[in-house]
Amino acid sequence: MKLSHFQFDLPKELLAEYPAENRDESRLMVIDRKKGTIEHKMFKDVIDYFDDGDVLILNNTKVFPARLYGNKEKTGARIEVFLLRELNSEQRLWDVLVDPARKIRIGNKLYFGDDDSLVAEVIDNTTSRGRTLRFLYDGSYEEFRNKLTELGETPIPKYISRDVTPEDAERYQTIYAKEEGAVAAPTAGLHFSKHLLKKLEIKGIKFAEVTLHVGLGTFNPVEVEDLSKHKMDSEELKITQEACDIVNEAKAKKKRICTVGTTSMRAVESSVSSQNTLNPFDGWTNKFVFPPHDFTIPTCMITNFHTPKSTLLMMVSAFCGHDLMKKAYAEAIKEEYKFYSYGDAMLII
């Protein structure tokens, strides 16, 4: 498969600027791989496709307010700082992206907050936009993290042209988010409401939680025609023994195992044993799933509608079958499904 196989025309108006009014009332396209059929449902109908003992694999990562705005010393120029990952908690070192980057050099200081209560010094250049910052703050580590949360903004995707609203802090987060560390939401999970999760639980569906801290690398454009030459950024991944036990028991009983989102899929496909069972994992993964790929753990997946040439689309193609995926996407555009982070969902069975 080549990069050009994943190009399609996506009308701008289909990129969702706002979430659905109710989480579980976005639209749901159901694709049956065996039958080659496409159905149109509401997301809450997802319960009809699962039975007692089936498993949903959820990514419980939590998005932190990663976007800060500060001012450069002397000039006062407004600078956007996007926190990517903490490098050293004692020294308060962070890997960040800055914009506009050309103005930010090693040794520059940036001031945050109306009272300049947080200061950062640029200590390294990592990429064209990447920098390493050392934050200078008098309080304890906990107070420092609270200050970042206070000054930070929900990192909704750049394609959303509106300002961030208070609602985004809640809606750009799954209701089962627990482990803070993501700079983007695992968006397939945004469709689950508390009510729907309770109904699934009552029906006997089990939940296996994994933690994959989504980084911006997930959204990096693929710039090579030969997909095997694309390098994914590493993301932090944790899979507990408890999650493995739930998944492996269901696998042994030939129950349906559904990854909720491309991040959950990437997580489980990163840690498969030689016996084709799920292994515990604690580390980093740079797994890139693209066609052809033999999936070991999941029998179905829930995902959103992705943008052209994205690694996420490539994973869906590998799981769904390329021709059926193309047919489904053509149908989604015709039926005006909403795409991307706040968009509608797809269930592939």
Residues 232 and 284 in one domain: yes
Residues 264 and 181 in one domain: yes
Q: Residue 155: its pLDDT value, please?
A: 92
Residues 193 and 267 in one domain: yes
Label residue 132 by pLDDT band (50, 70, 90): very high
Q: How far is CA 75 from the centre of its chain?
A: 36
On whether residue 20 sits in a domain, the answer given is: yes
The domain tally of the chain equals 2
Q: Which domain holds residue 111?
A: 67-153
Q: What CATH code is carried by the domain that includes residue 143?
A: 2.40.10.240
Does residue 150 sit in helix, strand or coil? Answer: helix
Residues 74 and 127 in one domain: yes
- 71-75, 88-92, 123-127, 185-189: which range is least confident on average? 123-127
pLDDT tens digits along 134-176: 999 888 999 999 999 999 999 998 888 888 998 999 999 999 9
Residues 217 and 140 in one domain: no
Residues 280 and 298 in one domain: yes
Examine the pLDDT at 218 and tell me if it is beyond 90.
no
Residues 197 and 340 in one domain: yes
Label residue 1 by pLDDT band (50, 70, 90): confident
pTM: 0.91
On whether residue 122 sits in a domain, the answer given is: yes
Report d(CA 330, CA 337) in Å as an integer: 10
On whether residue 108 sits in a domain, the answer given is: yes
φ, ψ at 122 (rounded to 5°):
-80, 120
* Strands 345-348 and 27-32, sheet pairing: parallel
Residue 340: Cβ-neighbour burial (10 angstroms; 0-12, 13-18, 19+): buried
Examine the pLDDT at 323 and tell me if it is beyond 80.
yes
Examine the pLDDT at 226 and tell me if it is beyond 80.
yes
Residues 241 and 292 in one domain: yes
What is the overall mean pLDDT for the chain?
A: 93
Q: Residue 241: its pLDDT value, please?
A: 98
Residues 98 and 177 in one domain: no
Q: Residue 139: its pLDDT value, please?
A: 86
Residues 146 and 193 in one domain: no
Residues 185 and 318 in one domain: yes
On whether residue 162 sits in a domain, the answer given is: no
Q: Residue 251: its pLDDT value, please?
A: 97
Residues 82 and 54 in one domain: no
pLDDT tens digits along 233-288: 889 999 999 999 999 999 999 999 999 999 999 999 999 999 999 999 999 999 99
Label residue 212 by pLDDT band (50, 70, 90): very high
Does residue 322 sit in helix, strand or coil? Answer: helix
